[in-house]
Amino acid sequence: KDKVSVVTGAASGIGRGMAETFAAAGMRVVLGDIETEALEETTRSMRAAGADVHAVRTDVSKPDQVDDLARQTLRKYGAVHVLCNNAGIMVGGSTGWKSSVNDWRWIVGVNLMGVVHGIRTFLPIMIEQDSEAHILNTASLAGLIASGPAPYVSTKFAVVGLSENVYVQLQREGLKPRVSVLCPALVDTNIVYSDRNRPAEFADASVPHTDPAARAARERAAAALKKDGLSPRAVGEQVLAAIRDERFYILTHPELNPVIEQRMEHILTGTNPAVVPSPELMQKLNALRPR
């Protein structure tokens, strides 16, 4: 209660779910997002519900804008206790060799460097405060198993590794800030429509936004997220609980843990990656599905 949280990608999806959860718990919330209209709507909605929020339009791929997010946070509230490096995108290219250079540059700039900029800017502030603080980095289940478009998987694996490294370094140096990494599976968000925010400088997409097949694939994916995805608010509740418990790994769908176990087993036994799930794994997953 009365702590200050900063959430990037806060205007929609998981970011909004976390922001609303934090506000309901009595925290003051700084909302960062690149989408101006969505950011304004989320700010109005949260204030109408009684939340103390401050909005800052932020492109996390730009370090100067992340610096400004921190400056405005300190100017408004005087401290920062929780940072959620959550902003993320997905690009259409399915394979590493078919994805354009601009696809790679854009997604690395947001999904990975956005987290790096957040850590480099906010963590020294938290250390200087010398009080309890927490950084949450949003990765994905695709950061633990190689499932999904190659550029997306690559950035999410990097976020998991970065988060683990920062956690260990903070522990070794006896510093107070804690770290968590969020690895969600299906969540009801609009991430499949990330191209709505593609900058002109990265316009050379490997799969054009207007391509009929790509459009159909996006609609199928969006329908699956809507039908089977966890609500962003439910993810926010899991995040808040993990922060309170100082828990590092946040796996939103524990029923999928056998998939992670299989990958670990393959690494330890020198087995090649599975192209399709084994019959034994499928049997485990089917047994875990709700009836």
CATH of the domain at 188: 3.40.50.720
By the 8 A CB rule, do 158 and 112 touch? yes
Q: Same domain for 285 and 204?
A: no
pLDDT of residue 246: 98
Q: What is the spatial distance between Cα 48 and Cα 222, in angstroms, rounded to a whole number?
A: 29
Q: Of these residues, 152, 167, 193, 249, which one is catalytic?
A: 152
By the 8 A CB rule, do 122 and 169 touch? no
Contacts of 264 (CB under 8 A, 6+ apart): none
pLDDT of residue 291: 36
pLDDT of residue 216: 78
152 is catalytic: yes
pLDDT of residue 283: 63
Domain count, the chain: 2
Q: Same domain for 171 and 184?
A: yes
pLDDT of residue 14: 99
Residue-by-residue DSSP string for the chain: ---EEEEESTTSHHHHHHHHHHHHTT-EEEEEES-HHHHHHHHHHHHHTT--EEEEE--TTSHHHHHHHHHHHHHHHS---EEEE------S--STTTS-HHHHHHHIIIIIHHHHHHHHHHHHHHHHHTS--EEEEE--GGGTS--S-HHHHHHHHHHHHHHHHHHHHHHHTT-S-EEEEEE--SBS--GGGGGGG--GGG---SS-TT-HHHHHHHHHHHHHHHHHPBPHHHHHHHHHHHHHHT-SEEES-GGGHHHHHHHHHHHHHTPPPPSS--HHHHHHHHHHS--
Q: Same domain for 52 and 164?
A: yes
Q: Same domain for 207 and 276?
A: no
Q: Same domain for 285 and 241?
A: no
Q: Same domain for 232 and 285?
A: no
Q: Same domain for 201 and 278?
A: no
pLDDT of residue 98: 87
Task: Give the domain range for residue 273.
Answer: 254-291
Q: Same domain for 216 and 279?
A: no
Q: CA separation (Å) from 243 to 13, 180, 183, 222?
A: 19, 7, 14, 29
Q: Same domain for 159 and 277?
A: no
Q: Same domain for 205 and 267?
A: no
- pLDDT per 10-residue tile (average), the chain, 291 residues: 96 99 99 98 99 99 99 99 98 82 96 99 98 98 94 98 99 98 96 91 75 75 88 99 99 95 96 80 56 36
Q: Same domain for 209 and 280?
A: no
Q: Same domain for 205 and 288?
A: no
